[in-house]
Structure 1
Amino acid sequence: MTALTQLSQAIHDAPRWHQPEQFQNPQEITIVPLEGEALGAVVFGLDARKAQAGETIYRLKQALAEHLILIFKNQRLDDLQYLAFASYFGSIFRPSADNPVLATQADTGTPPDVVPVSNAVGQGDYTGHGELNPHADHQWTPQPSFGSLLYAIELPKDGGQTSWFNTIRAYDTLDEATKQQIDQLQLITYNPFVRRQYLKDNDTNGYGSSPLYRFKDQPIIGHAYPHPLVRTHPESGRKALWLNTHSEVELVNYDDQAGSELIASLREHLLKPEFRYEHQWQQGDIVFWDNQVTLHSRKPFPSEQRRLLKRISLAGGRPY
């Protein structure tokens, strides 16, 4: 079954409003912000297997724009139910074949709609068990994903927590001189999957290593898509730093040394604890995050402990 057929099947099989036992009463749902945290809200009472009312989806979209991540507890879904729920919020992200991302398949050039994020549990060993540095998904593509949902199915006993960083708050707390300096700058984020393959093929610098900033005397690896360093949220209008912490990047038409120092300073700022929320996963959690104005990272966990989550990413527009 192809990814497109899988999505079509999910919509075909989805519960309908005219079936009362399959319809979610909007009055059963409450949204509670995480007290004292930099971002996030918990959604109580929602069963993602059921058909959702328009007012519910509107409330959830508003809440996501305000709180940046939503946490749904105690869900029990198969892949088609998961896809049907995610499709309320947008189209599935499908990059072009020349822009590889996590789980890109050799035969199609694109990832599956539901990506298993695991450490060799027989369902997609894409991220291993090590630490993952703060990043936004698909930042190196011409139209990065607007958001993702991550569903916890199997969890390790130790480690594996995911943190999210509020990059709106990170921008808001910059001094005015820095804001004026960076507001009109364009940033290129280079594709880490292309870089990794290049290093593997050429056996230079050690497989998996990558510069944090590209100087002009260094080769360009992969496509280059300039996006604003300061991104505007399309719904709230709030500004955010559109920068991760460890990918190879380059400021457009900017001095190499000055650009490298500026990016290093902004990356240090992004990692301040007051911008961060760490999620302690429980089985059945779905976390839905706004990929446009957050970063996320993962703590390592023991390789012998199994971890399986499933991710669905939603299509976005060109950053501005």
Structure 2
Amino acid sequence: MTALTQLSQAIHDAPRWHQAEQFQDGSEIRIEPQHDQALGAVVYGLDARKAQSGETIYRLKQALAEHLILIFKQQTLDDLQYLAFASYFGSIFRPGADIPVLASQDETGTPPDVVPVSNAVGKGDYTGHGELAAHADHQWTPLPSFGSLLYAIELPQDGGQTSWFNTIRAYEALDDATKQHLDQLQLITYNPFVRAKSNKGTNGYGSTPLYRFKDQPIVGHAYPHPLVRTHPESGRKGLWLNERSEVELVNYDDQAGSELIASLREHLLKPEFRYEHQWQQGDVVFWDNQVTLHSRRPFPAEQRRLLKRISLAGGRPF
């Protein structure tokens, strides 16, 4: 018999509905919005190892579209259980082998289904211990991921907090004339992993231009997406722009484009659009990647931090 992929094995091994002790009663699950924060809701009582009803998954999908991040507390999962739970919400993100992303493997050109996000040698030393600028995952790809889940396994004593930014609120705070102007624009976000390879071993960010002028070489493929993205379920609009990647407005004056992007980036990072998560072991945070950004505070290199990320496939932004 042909060996199963990791995802196929996860679903094969998932709890069966007829096993009553593994089918979770939805009345045990509470979703509490963070009304004092820019986004987010905390989910209590859900055991991601158990089979979930259609009503529960529908509730969670509605809550994600409304609150943009869901925080599941006190989870204890192996990789197959984690994958089985994530697959309730969509297909696993798998970019083409010609589009490098975090954790792309040398043999296949694609990342594993479960990506270790860690500074722990031997467990996926992909992101180190430094600060990570606010970004949306896979924004430079033709079909960026719809969302990601991040599971906290080992945490440092100091630092390492993750912040999320509500790009819907950021868009809605703009004046009407600015909104109308931005609604007509397309943005290219260039792949930082291609830039990092071209810089021969540098980390990419420090030497990456924030805006590509037309007299500068193009590094990697260009995939134009709307600068203002419409959420496919709620219809709300958000700014589709990150803090530091090399970008370019399509058919726009270089200097004016550079200034506009700089002002929008400053606007996006205002405290009123931000929620900072203080991680606890066993947290799983599930965020809508289409209308949020996320960043990370630095932490001491000698302190271990291990989280595991699963990203879900998305469609072409519109």
Normalization by structure 1: what TM-score? 0.97
Shift in Å, 1:4 = 7.0
Residue among 288, 293, 296 paired with 1:295: 293
2:229 corresponds to which residue? Answer: 231
* Matched residue, 2:85: 85
Match of 1:186 in 2: 186
Structure 1 contact 229–243 (Cα < 8 Å) conserved: yes
Say yes or no: does 1:69 pair with 2:69. yes
Equivalent residues of 2:14, 2:84 under 8 A apart: yes
* Unmatched tracts of structure 2, length 5 or more: none
| Residue 277 (structure 1) aligned to one of 250, 275, 278 | 275
Contact preservation (8 Å) 1:40, 1:71: yes
**What is aligned with 1:176?**
176
Q: Aligned equivalents of 1:13 and 1:286: distance in 2?
A: 21
The alignment partner of 2:5 has SS state of helix
1:185-264 residue pairs with structure 2 within 5 A?
A: 185-200=185-200, 208-264=206-262
Which residue of structure 1 lines up, in the alignment, with residue 311 of structure 2? 313
After superposition, what is the alpha-carbon deviation per residue over 1:133-181, rounded to whole angstroms, capped at 9, x for unaligned?
A: 0000000000000000000000000000000000000000001111111
Corresponding residue SS for 1:257: helix
Instruction: Render the CA deviation track for 1:257-289: whole Å, top value 9, x for unaligned.
Output: 000000000000001000000000000000000
Conserved 8 A contact 2:195-2:204: no
Name the CA distance, whole Å, in 2 between partners of 1:42 and 1:3. Answer: 38
CA distance in 1, matches of 2:205, 2:250: 27
Q: Which amino acid aligns with 2:272?
A: E
| Counterpart residue identity of residue 278, structure 1 | E
SS of the equivalent of 2:287 reads: strand
Match of 2:57 in 1: 57
Give the counterpart letter for 1:128 in structure 2. Answer: G
Q: Does 1:5 align with 2:5?
A: yes
Comparing 115-124 and 253-262, the one that deviates more: 115-124
**Displacement of 1:208:** 4.5
Contact preservation (8 Å) 1:48, 1:81: yes
Deviations 1:12-68 (A, max 9, x none): 000011100111101111100013100000001100000000000000000000000
Shift of 1:120: 2.6
- DSSP 3-state at the match of 1:319: coil
Deviations 1:174-233 (A, max 9, x none): 0111111110100000000000111117x8x99851000000000000000000000000
Shift of 1:311: 0.1
2-structure distance, mates of 1:37, 1:120: 31
State how far apart, in whole Å, the 1-side matches of 2:126 and 2:3 are. Answer: 18
**Bigger mean CA offset, 93-102 vs 192-201:** 192-201
Q: Is the 8 A contact 2:145 2:315 kept in 1?
A: yes
The yes-or-no answer on 1:116 pairing with 2:116 is yes
Q: What 5-or-longer segments of structure 1 have no aligned partner? A: none
Q: 1: CA distance between counterparts of 2:172 and 2:205? A: 37
Moved >4 Å (runs of 4+): 205-208
Distance in 2, matches of 1:65 and 1:53, equals 19
Check whether the contact 1:199–1:208 (CA below 8 A) recurs between aligned residues: no
Map of 1:27 onto structure 2: 27
| Percent of aligned pairs sharing the same letter | 86
Whole-Å Cα distance in 2 between the matches of residues 3 and 32 of structure 1? 41
Query: What is the root-mean-square deviation of aligned Cα atoms in Å?
Result: 1.6
Given that 2:205 and 2:245 are in contact with CA atoms closer than 8 Å, whether structure 1 keeps it comes out as no
Partner-residue secondary structure (3-state), 2:263: helix
The separation in 2 between residues aligned to 1:249 and 1:266, in whole angstroms, is 13
Closer, same or farther: CA 258–4 of 1 in aligned 2, 3 Å = farther
Structure 1 position 98, deviation (Å): 1.0
Q: Which residue of 2 aligns with 1:15?
A: 15
8 A contact 1:228–1:319 mirrored in 2: yes
The alignment partner of 1:200 has SS state of: coil
